[in-house]
Chain A
Amino acid sequence: MPEPLALSASGLRLAAPDGRTILRDASLELPAGARAWIEGPPGSGKRALLKVLAGLLAPQAGEVRLGGVRLWPGDGAGQLRGRPRLGFAFAQGGLLSNLSLRENLALPLRFAGRAPRQVEDDLAAALARYGLADQADLRPHALGPRSRRLIQWARLDLLDPEVIFLSEPFADLDGPALELAIEALARWAGDPSRLLVAAGDPAQASRLPGARRLRLEAGTLHPLGSAP
């Protein structure tokens, strides 16, 4: 049983390439097994904050620690390779455009050392669960937004990460696809060892039960209480 991971960030400062301030002394403390929902007005920097916390975007100042490993200052997510498994559902992109869906899903599994036969079996199950089996050999640009979104959920399911970051997790989803996403989120949230951090529309926060709600405004994070 892996040890639950805590996430802490302090004094984060980040500016956009055009000089606009995105984060100004933003700080966050999430104990092991916590859930957090980050909301804020459009353009407030929610996606950028998630990337900084996941070790994908280097802040100009501040520190991020995940499970005792210092991501920033440092090599970011590169520090975690082989240690706590990370999952990130991107709002857009995040998939290699020159690989099919099947290859995109298989790549991190191969790098994680999963046996080829196991990879094939797991892929088939995940593609069937998310209704993507008939699109598995297409490349991301050939898919609609709903399928591109679902493939992110399928990747998280396959990797079974200990720390999950979700950017606008329910955008582009409705009907059965939305039900699949809600069911997956409830499953992950039911595991007390897993750390979940999502950023999106405040109206969707209740879909992550018990999450601490945080509002990102003018570059700083303000606590809002907990989701029901």
Chain B
Amino acid sequence: MNEPFVAPRRFARLVLKVNVFLLLGLAMVGAFMALVAYKQGWFVQQTPVHFVTANALGVNRGMPVKLFGFTIGTVSDMQLSPEGVDVTLSIISDYVPRIPQGSEARFAREGGIVGASVIEIQPGPAGPAVRAGERIAFRPQRGISEIVDDFRRQAVPAFNEVKNLFTQLKGPGDDVAGTLAGLRQEVQRLPETRAALQKLLVTAERTTEQLGQQSIATMRATQRTAEAAERAMAVVPPLAEKVGSAVESIDGAASQLRRTAEEAQGTLQRARPLIERGELAARDAGEVLGAAKRVWPLSDSFRETADRDLPIDSFEARGKSLRP
């Protein structure tokens, strides 16, 4: 009844087949591990460099280390030390020559305030490269509160200046809008003022020229009178002496008149650029005020009453339904 067990034919050389299968499996696991090790940089020679920080908040193992934004290593180890936390950086040895002694490490974020955190190497002055295991300096990161403080330190004087400007603009009994309206009116009148000044200058120049011409004519007449007087002096010496002194004084007066005219002309010429500069300055002031009026924190204070008026346009007299 009991028949002897006969192994099926497909189980022939079973041990050999199992061993081959196991070997293949082992080879595949080994290849996978080699691939992982390659990807992890186990075959890349790395140089350890370290720094010590009093506060390692945000620094993690595996965090990239960057030089000019290019990854040159990772944070490989962190240990507590008497000074704080000793952070070891594994730098790819090929890039170590780019890190001279005196370089600093600092905590940074790739996108400025937001973004992935990295350790950034700030290269020091040109010199020999850092050695394996050497300690480099660490510059701690500025916190938001420090940034805000810094901004406040810079902004407060500016705001104080604006406040002073407001105080000066306001004056006793006036409001800013009124002062500005006055200023604006004055600025708008500048072209007329300039035209009037130019007219005045032209008139003054013409007057000066006429004055000069008249003084020259007066001098010539005086000279002629003097010559006549000299001729008369030969006839009446005492009278001639008197006339001579009178002529001298007239001559002196004429010279003085001429000098005065020249000075007036010079003054007018010097005044012209001054007036032009004044006009430019007023226009600049108008532009600065205009720009300041558009800035958010100030815009509410500069709301002008004139802005509420819609334009009165004679075109509307043409007829019905002329909506713009």
Query: Is chain B found bound to chain A in the same assembly?
Result: no
